[in-house]
Structure 1
């Protein structure tokens, strides 16, 4: 039975707060705190009341309708007022937005206990209740727009008198709710990541919950807000939604329990057919065409389009999801997913990622419960029709070839191509694939993510370079894997069979020797490895003889680029700056890279209440970000010295000059590879099939010579050469 309550009409617009009011307070006390202009209003004159009645307006009590001095009663027609209403300046103008032209004033609407700024437009709003509208707001053709006294505006908090069962949780990374977090306005990717991890640390988890609880007022009675110049038209239902300035909402079906952040520099838009419930929309977001979002956070400048479904998920900054379905996922900044038949579930995707059509990332068919997870480092790129199983983990910049991967995967080699060879029934991994065959894509992606970072408030320093502490640490891990696997492959040959049992150290030493001194011999070996797949079949490493030296060169390049970026005035100054240089684990905290030791310190401060709010956590992010360049320099020099088998004490100016010149050679190779990998698209005869001539092809796709990114890389190379030469000269290396 529907619980339809029948109450006196005289109660409509009153008794908004259903719990006991604080002593000496009326039901409007929080409303007055929100709207500081209440002293600018006056009561209606007898003439104004007469004019309003003549214009077919009604009120249960004209004495509690307040207006500003510049109020024109002729601009209020066919409206029904209940409770206290305050109306700002109304002048004989019309407002225009995107060719929608409507006269200032209130028309054909039922209004309960609302405040209006100056020169608002309210047309055909069937029910407008407990809202505060700013200046020059347009609200037209809305069925229902109301706020309840327990409105939480998408935040995972409870109001006075509410039961715990009513709290909104986001079930990130795992469908079983074991990594749930409470969404809140202002939640950064790093916040979501830290909260979903370290589930065994009860004290840390309790602190995160406490931070969220105390960030928001538990008192009942806050009104929904609509900021200045926001336009809302042709929407069906808006309930418990607070909206910033300069937003644009058109044709939405249902918006409920939301915060929609927007301002003049980063306006947010929600379009036709969208339904969004229990969430937070960040600044500068775009949501269009039939989107469904439930229990979610959209970080700033992210987009949902074309029927996308985002459920129990966090979408990072500058990310776009369209057409597809995303469930129970935590997605870091710069994610792209555009295809209707792609599916992402119970995953941690660490940014700069792209999901191809037909990708099914996260299937629980291999588990007895909905408790699996996928963890993917930066640059994750599953190809067409890839199907992956929980639990799986992928290093940075992993490309997965089309195929149904029947077993869980642990791909610990970065920049690799993963292939399921059904003919040979073998998993194959090609380390360094991106460097060998698609340098254009990986270099351009790093550039475009920086170019497209539209955040106006960059609290977290997001790393987009493909050579960074996280990926370089994974390269070292890959070097060890390749050395051991190569040694085993060599000793597996009958002519090389050892006469005594060898240790893992001996085997790796032999592999390292071969990879550094006899690549031709390595090229002849079939190199197998283990630990990449949860199955008994063989895993083959491809082109190790090419990837290994490339990885070493990339480490040198990473180091030299950071040395040059540091801008030290001398070799001695560099030595002084990196005197504690050492390698170590780095973590990706929502797109911001931090040393594992730094994260441990951050967690300790949170647990000891030295950091006692989300605001202070965000300040810590900024402080850590300010130290990132110095930390990265220390790491880069430590990496360089390790692969060169040297030490800071023994490093000479001659060594450094040689390594800098070596990095120039690597940059020249990269620049050539960028052009070569793009050039293949122009020389491929099958690519040319669609065009009658080369001239037509250039007209459609642009000529290779006019490619702005290739031109830019050529210019960057010359600048890099000059910087190396100047540094060597200035330091007298």
Structure 2
């Protein structure tokens, strides 16, 4: 980076003129001490110009070499750091600082016009297209803060304070000069207007970028590809946007991927979202929201860890007062091909939605369920997803598919399938299902619940599955708490079981990826309202702290729940009680894994082999299937399930062996 500048010499001015360069005022041009004009041709200078040296040679694909410099370009009020190459700009570049080693070729215009906040402060009308839940975006917006801004409209003082903070941030980043970072590549691109571009960004073939910031950096560059059109946007590090994407008033989170003609307006996409082919309108796409198929429309909904099937669709109005309705699909859910939900509706965590549902179901208290259409009616199968291979496979793949390389993570993502958030819902679900039994009678064939029907057999199985999952979670928690340590007596066990923090009791929330106690979020909100917390950085630091302290707070919650679930006073618990709980846990783990094993086996059934060995006999069909899909026993997932059974059994046995000498003692 240049630190000192000087005026052009008369000889340098004469050389530039001979190389077909012009200037409105040669005295307004300043250059680095080591500057030489030999690589500047056909360039028009206007306004205040500063330039570094041109010493570097760029090696292009195929081995072609180009020296840094200026060729066929008009510059107005620009600062160029060392070793920039700019050539073939059809119109001009105005009001930009351009970082070292950047390569700009074959563009129409790059300009900042007037004062700009570069997308910061843009109002995005999520969930309700007609307004009312607008989220003002800024460079470091997290899914958790956006969740609060969008949904906590019952706290107007809170919303006012947050809007003031973001407005102040936008004002701080308002300027008449834009920047293009170092090692940026911009080629074959149309209009770039009022856009700030971070280091190591690659823009190749974009059509139009207006009023935005691209937060690329060396650790996690951003790539913008062919025919992209974007207005009023923020793009976070590691994002890839290409192949005709059109987006207006959008926030694109870290490591998101949008391509193949995907279109979006008034939508927020947070970490690791993926969109292809379809359309998004006014959605809040929490981490890992995925929609990859044509004819899929996500509209006016809140999602996270979603997998949307082809043709998935929702409606956000009933042709009365316009598009005013919204819906929430809680974390980990799937919509099958051609599924449809009429908003308003709320779908419970880790649920599967199949068919058309027009009676506004609310299944939020019955997670891990199937919501299925049968004869124009909605049927609910509670808890069945707990034994689904797909659910467990998703839980395993999400952490592996975290593509964020930026050391500064904007979203704090908890990947746990079983957590206080989902377990509290299962406890509620058991009460709901038992209440239906009491109200309608245990012999009823079908129970009605929240605009859906539940078969008697499904209800009973749901209670059983939820109970097993609760036993698994609580057993996991107590084994984790007691791991490694050798205990001399029961008092040492009880001391170890005692929570180390008061935070964690009561209801838990999923703030679009961050799982935390409601009491802690309420405290954060109160601190913002009372101005104890006055900055966006403090808010984000609080989210990070809650994420880091998750397991301590989880144990506080589990400790309290165990007393009710097992009807035991944990403060008086003995080795005998621990062994009893571990045995219950082991039965739950093994039986759930056995169900997963059976579900996986369906993928290797005779029906699954249909279409294999098309021109041969049954033996050839089996061989063809095995060559493509592999044998059941050697399948990676099946091996993982078997290993999980062995490992968990050994884990339980180890704890029992470690405390067995204390059995029978007080």
TM-score, normalised via structure 1 length: 0.84
| Equivalences for residues 201-280 of structure 1 within 5 A | 201-217=155-171, 221-280=175-234
Say whether residues 1:170 and 2:124 are aligned partners.
yes
Query: Is 1:386 equivalent to 2:339 in the alignment?
Result: yes
**2:77 paired with 1:77:** no
**Residue correspondences, number:** 644
Q: Determine the C-alpha separation between the residues in 1 that align with 2:218 and 2:51.
A: 24
Partner of 1:364: 317
Deviation per CA, 1:1-20: give whole Å up to 9, x if none: xxxxxxxxxxxxxxxxxxxx
Partner of 1:721: 649
Structure-1 residue corresponding to 2:658: 730
Pair 1:458-2:377 in alignment: no
Q: 1:95·1:121 contact (CA, 8 Å) conserved in 2?
A: no
Q: How does 1:506-525 map to 2 (within 5 A)?
A: 525=444
Taking the aligned partners of 1:169 and 1:205, their CA distance within structure 2 comes to 13
The structure with the largest strand share of the pair is 2
Q: Distance in 1 between matches of 2:633 and 2:98?
A: 54
- Assess if the C-alpha contact under 8 Å between 2:562 and 2:570 holds in 1: no
Q: In the alignment, is residue 445 of structure 1 matched against residue 383 of structure 2?
A: no
1:549 to 464, 475, 489: 464
Q: Within the alignment, does 1:353 sit opposite 2:306 as a pair? A: yes
Q: Is the 8 A contact 2:212 2:234 kept in 1?
A: yes
CA shift at 1:579, angstroms? 9.3
**Residues 372-429 of structure 1, C-alpha deviation per residue, up to 9 Å, x if partnerless?**
1101211121212111112111111111112x2222111131111112211xx54311
RMSD of aligned alpha carbons = 2.2
Q: What is the deviation of 1:717?
A: 3.6
2:432 to 481, 484, 508: 481
Aligned to 2:441: 490
**How is 1:37-186 mapped onto 2 (pairs within 5 angstroms)?**
39-91=3-55, 93-96=57-60, 101-126=65-90, 127-156=92-121, 168-186=122-140
Show structure 1 runs of 5+ residues with no match. Answer: 1-36, 157-167, 494-524
1:254 Cα deviation from its structure 2 partner:
0.5
- Describe the shift of the 1:381–1:541 C-alpha distance in structure 2 as closer, same or farther (beyond 3 A): farther
**Which segment is superposed worse, 681-690 or 273-282?**
681-690
CA distance 1:189–1:581, change in 2 (3 Å): closer
Other-structure match for 1:532: 451
- DSSP 3-state at the match of 2:166: helix
Q: 1:335, CA displacement in angstroms? A: 1.1
CA distance in 1, matches of 2:456, 2:411: 37
Q: Deviation per CA, 1:241-266: give whole Å up to 9, x if none.
A: 11111111111010011110111211
* TM-score calculated relative to the size of structure 2: 0.92
Shift of the 472–604 alpha-carbon distance from structure 1 to 2, 3 Å rule, reads: same
Distance in 1 (CA, whole Å) between partners of 2:236 and 2:570 is 46
> Relative to structure 1, is the Cα distance of residues 627 and 315 closer, same or farther in structure 2, using a 3 angstrom cutoff?
same
- Structure 1 residue 97, shift from structure 2 partner: 5.7
CA distance in 2, matches of 1:92, 1:218: 34
Structure 1 residue 541 displacement after superposition: 5.4
CA distance in 1, matches of 2:479, 2:319: 49
Does the alignment pair 1:191 with 2:140? no
Describe the shift of the 1:623–1:446 C-alpha distance in structure 2 as closer, same or farther (beyond 3 A).
Answer: same
Q: Distance in 2 between matches of 1:92 and 1:267?
A: 22
